[in-house]
Structures are given as C-alpha cells and as structure tokens.
Amino acid sequence: MSSEPLGGPPPPFRKPTAGDARAMATWLFQQGERVDMHAVASRLDIGRSTLYRWVGDREKLMDQVILGSIGDIWNDSRAAARGSGIDRVLDATRLFMQGCVDFEPLATFAQREPNLALRVLLDPDGLVTKALARNLSRETAETAPAISVPEETFGVLALAATALLWAHVAASREPNIDATIDIMRAVLAAHARAAESSGG
C-alpha cells in the first residue's frame, strides 16, 4: 500500500470580484430567484458594504443583470428579422419585444416586483434603455441610411416601447406589441418622408 498522501494540496480559492457579484446576481435572476443584496453577498461570502461599493444599489445591480441577460435576445431578433429598411428595423424590434416577454426570468421579475422592474426598465439613464435606443439607432443607420433620426428620438422610442410593454406585463396583462410597433413605424415613417422631401 502506498504511503503517499492522496489528493495533493487543496485547490486554491481566489477572492471574489465585482464581476463575480454580477455573475452571481445574473445566475440567481435566471433561476427565477429574487435577487437581493443579502443573498448575493452571502453566496460570495463578502460584506454587503463591499457589494454596494462594487455594483451600486439594488436598482443599479438589476439594470446590469437585465442588460446582461437580454443581449442574446436582441442578437437573435436582429438575425431573424425580415424585410428591408424601416420594415426590417421594426421586425427586429417586434421579435425582440416578444422575446423579452417570453423570457421567463424577466417576466417573473416584472410581475413579482413591478415597482422595481418599472423603475429599472424605464430609467432614461439606465443601461437597458440606453442599449435599446443604441440598437434602434444602429439598426436604422445600417438598414435605412437615408433616414436622419435624432438620437433623442431613439431614446424616446425606446422608453415608449418599454413602457407600453412592461406596464402590461407587470399588471399580468397581455401586451399589444403590434400597437407599439405601429407607433414606432409612424415616427420613423415621418422622418423618412422628411428625408425624401428634402432630397436626402
């Protein structure tokens, strides 16, 4: 029988980082669990003051978590969108909105904590709102370059679409995505007509 010790030294453990905190919060969110600061700090064996220093308050943490969780939905929607020009932009947006509604962790969060969800999703300076506005702007520039739309308009469209979508979900009502898309179409079509009349 060998007298050598079994297993060798214990594996090294590194100290948690801010990235680990966001990853843990995202994991909890995607499991359908409530993400609170105490739960995240406990799982990482860190103090809550450290967690707050890393990620800000719970609202800011949820903003980061949601953004990190829905990025693939936009990419998939963009790849599956049909049509050209404005039609393609709006089809990608429609698919994205439906994908977000169908994403169970996000729908569960909106229904379980509607006040927090709406504060996060409707924050004009939040990461989620800015990302949607940026995606709309980029997609429009690529598929309908002749249309000149102010960046502020994309911000308003992002907020309007988010409000119309998630206010219904938070109240456990079926959102009317097509009506939201019609509003966005009217705004973008007006800019398209302006570009045509100016010869742009």
Q: Where are the domains of the chain?
A: 16-56, 67-197
3-state secondary structure string, the chain? CCCCCCCCCCCCCCCCCHHHHHHHHHHHHHCCCCCCHHHHHHHHCCCHHHHHHHHCCHHHHHHHHHHHHHHHHHHHHHHHCCCCHHHHHHHHHHHHHHHHHHCHHHHHHHHHCHHHHHHHHCCCCCHHHHHHHHHHHHHHHHHCCCCCCCHHHHHHHHHHHHHHHHHHHHCCCCCCHHHHHHHHHHHHHHHHHHHHHCCC
Please state the pTM of the whole predicted model: 0.86
Residue-wise pLDDT tens digits, 22-35: 999 999 999 999 99
Residue-wise pLDDT tens digits, 103-152: 999 999 999 999 999 999 999 999 999 999 999 999 999 998 888 899 99
Residue-wise pLDDT tens digits, 51-96: 999 999 999 999 999 999 999 999 999 999 999 999 999 999 999 9
Residues 6+ apart with CB under 8 A from 116: 58, 59, 62
The answer on pLDDT for 5 being more than 90 is no
Residue-wise pLDDT tens digits, 158-192: 999 999 999 999 998 999 999 999 999 999 999 88
- Report percent pLDDT > 70 for the chain: 92
